[in-house]
Homo-oligomer: A and B are copies of this chain.
Amino acid sequence: MPLPAGQPKFRRRKADRPDEIVAAAFEVFGEKGFAAARLDDIAARAGVSKGAIYLYFATKEDIFQAVVEQGVAPNLHNLAALAAANPQSFPELARAFTQMMAQVASTTPLGGIIKMVIAEARNFPELARVWHDRLIVPALGGVSAAIAAAQARGEIRPGDPRHYAAGLISPLLVGVIWRETFTPIGAEPFDLPVLMEQHVETLLRGMVP
């Protein structure tokens, strides 16, 4: 078979490769899990050979690490933006927080990352720790602190603030996991922003004195 004339067999694009490999790896890891994902698949989806991957990453685990850590970054930004907003009443904060998170969850591949963290937490505890320490504890702790402050002002009924916070954001996580797990099976999906709006309003009614 003759080579196609003029079509170069590859391009040298050192700057773009890492991101493209991570993007491809995110898809394959999300579909298969870490162990079942094959580097040949990742390479093919990134449009390179397997050997090329090793020009940019030392091991399969390093690629996985890059995928998971890249999933933290944008959410960190959102969290910081929310914290920067002036402290309003707790109901306003709760509405803003959940709507923002619902939006993020609906428009980003957050679900795939969460699924990977859950699935591989035992095999890669450091990655679970990164997520826990840098994203989950700040988010959960921030909401809990806001609830505690509102309780001190008498705006919210007594009760464990951390449990209140968990009750507030859990449906969002479940919705994201649902989309990853059961929607591909043909299950009826959840409209996350709608679900969360109803949930927040209902829960807030129950939380105020």
Spell out A's residues near B (CB within 8 Å).
30-36, 115, 117-123, 125, 128-129, 132, 136-137, 157, 159-160, 162-164, 166-167, 170-171, 173-175, 177, 180-182, 184-185, 187, 190, 194-195, 198-199, 201-207
- The interface residues of chain A, by DSSP majority, are classed as helix
A31 to B122, CA, bound (A): 6
Having A33-B34, A166-B171, A170-B173, one finds 8 other A-B pairs with CB under 8 Å, namely A30-B122, A33-B120, A115-B118, A121-B182, A121-B185, A167-B171, A167-B195, A201-B206
Pick the contact of A36 from B35, B128, B198, B203 — CB < 8 Å? B35
Pick the contact of A33 from B30, B31, B119 — CB < 8 Å? B119
Pick the contact of A185 from B31, B115, B128 — CB < 8 Å? B128
**A33-B33, A128-B181, A206-B204 are contacts. A115–B123 as well, Cβ < 8 Å?**
no
Enumerate chain B residues within 8 angstroms of A167, measured Cβ to Cβ. 171, 195, 198-199, 202-203
A199 to B197, CA, bound (A): 17
24 sampled A-B residue pairs with Cβ under 8 A: A31-B122, A32-B123, A33-B35, A33-B119, A33-B122, A36-B123, A118-B119, A118-B177, A118-B181, A121-B180, A160-B194, A160-B195, A163-B195, A164-B198, A166-B174, A167-B203, A170-B171, A174-B174, A202-B203, A202-B206, A203-B203, A203-B206, A204-B206, A206-B207
